[in-house]
A = this chain, B = another copy of it.
Amino acid sequence: MSSRAGIVVTGTEVLTGRVSDRNGPWLAEQLRIAGVDVAQVIVVGDRPDDLRRALEFLGSTGIDLIITSGGLGPTADDLTAEVVGTSQGRRSRLDPELERQIAAIVASLNERRGWQPDPVATAAATRKQALVPDGATVLAPVGTAPGLVVPVAQGRGGPPVVVLPGPPRELQGMWPAALADPDVQAALAGRDELRQRTIRLWGTPESELAATMRESEATIAELEITTCLRDGELEIVTRYGPAAEDSYEDFQAAIQSAFARTLFSSDGRTIDEIVAGALIERELTIATAESCTAGLLAGRLADRPGSSAYLLGGLVVYANEAKHNLAGVPVQLIADVGAVSAEVAEALAAGARERLGADLGVGVTGIAGPDGGSDEKPVGLVYLCVTSKDGSLARRLNLPGSRADIRARTVLTAMHLIRELLVT
């Protein structure tokens, strides 16, 4: 049995969707690596009552550890330290050493940015951030806000609460110190290893997978399997204790045999890692010419460190003149078959390859909408082509969804088309 933790993400900006939460997912993954299962993530606004209720609820579920993110800033709506302290039965006190430390950090930061804020305002903000629950352990600031480990007060029951700042960079930088804290280690003592393995399929419907899983019912009894269909990629993630390793191997073999054609990853590698790995291994370079995705495919090919080993560059050819001037697509071709056509996708791929001097060229043209569609060429119609000296692969897509959905799905499909040309 592994330990279990609950996460509370605070911030009205997260609750109302103006900012998407990156901390809950990141913490869940780190906890899994540490053998801790996450039971719930609760997002609450900057209201003390809602935060207090969430802490009480998590405390009542019998979990071993609570982690909060956010609400440690200098403004009045940042109230996590105080609310957590109260709910753990501890009063706030000013930590003068911490106050000096924060003041020094803020001064250096303002200097780097060339900012000269009002000294009285800065001192007030610093003092607020140096108020901590009595008996808590302070985790050194990565940005300006300190973190906290707040054990429950003597004579009361419940898990310790780890209080971390909201900015992902600060939270991530503080995590090793939080995990190493003696109160945290004591709360998580005795946990088992929890393994996680991932298989990815491209183009298998979820219902087919459900049938195969029903056939393997006996094998998978000890495994916690979750499946998720995302933009056409079907991801199968399995979590299990070390004793169930053989069952997992059997399950993986069953999936491999049932879906040999669509399985593209059984070692956890993402499509991005597979494409990058194949380009590096074969010492090939790549270039793009994009219309509807307008640079998002090139941007994605540059996501990984070291991508300059394979990505030479690309052409964003949004206007038809750019398709001709930059990628060399004949004006007459566009006049004859239209900018959104298999022929133009092929000419773009060839143009990208030739203009950049790359081994592989990718061409993308389509109608992302919501306007610009017709009966003959509706919104969601996209043509892709990947070309190399050894040949080409082309696809015609008919995608549902919003403008953003269509562009994202087009980029992902292009990544798979590159993989198919490289790996098979």
Contact = CB atoms under 8 A, between A and B. Distances in A.
A29 to B, nearest CB: 5
Given A28-B17, A77-B226, A110 B205 contact: yes
A185 interface: no
Interface of A: 11-22, 24-26, 28-29, 32, 38-46, 50, 53-54, 57, 61, 73-77, 106, 110, 112-113, 115, 117-118, 120-122, 124-125, 169, 205-211, 213-214, 224-230, 235, 237, 288, 290, 292-299, 301-303, 305-308, 311-319, 321-322, 325-326, 355-357, 369-371, 398, 400-405, 407
A51 to B, nearest CB: 10
Nearest to A46: B226
A311 B169 CA distance: 33
Nearest to A291: B313
Contacts of A307: 294, 318
A122 B305 contact: no
A214 B404 CA distance: 40
A318 B304 CA distance: 13
Contacts of A113: 205
Nearest to A316: B314
A26 B303 CA distance: 27
B213 A76 contact: yes
Given A205-B110, A208-B117, A295 B305 contact: no
Given A46-B226, A207-B125, A325-B355, A28 B57 contact: no
A278 B152 CA distance: 55
Given A74-B206, A122-B207, A312 B302 contact: no
Contacts of A321: 312, 357
B21 A21 contact: yes
A326 B16 CA distance: 43
Contacts of A54: 40
Contact of A25 (B20, B26, B319, B325): B20
A210 B38 contact: no
A28 B257 CA distance: 43
Given A16-B28, A319-B312, A355-B326, A40 B39 contact: no
15 contacts: A13-B237, A15-B41, A18-B235, A39-B45, A40-B50, A42-B42, A73-B206, A75-B213, A124-B211, A125-B210, A169-B400, A295-B298, A295-B302, A303-B403, A326-B356
Contact of A370 (B24, B53, B305, B311): B305
B44 A124 contact: no
B301 A207 contact: no
Contacts of A112: 398
A43 B17 contact: no
A294 B311 contact: yes
A226 to B, nearest CB: 4
A42 B40 contact: yes
Contact of A402 (B44, B169, B298): B169
Candidate in A57, A169, A297, A313 with the most chain B CB atoms within 10 angstroms:
A313
Contacts of A73: 206, 227, 229
A42 B54 CA distance: 9
Given A18-B235, A42-B40, A405-B169, A293 B303 contact: no
B294 A298 contact: yes
B17 A26 contact: yes
Candidate in A45, A113, A402 with the most chain B CB atoms within 10 angstroms:
A45
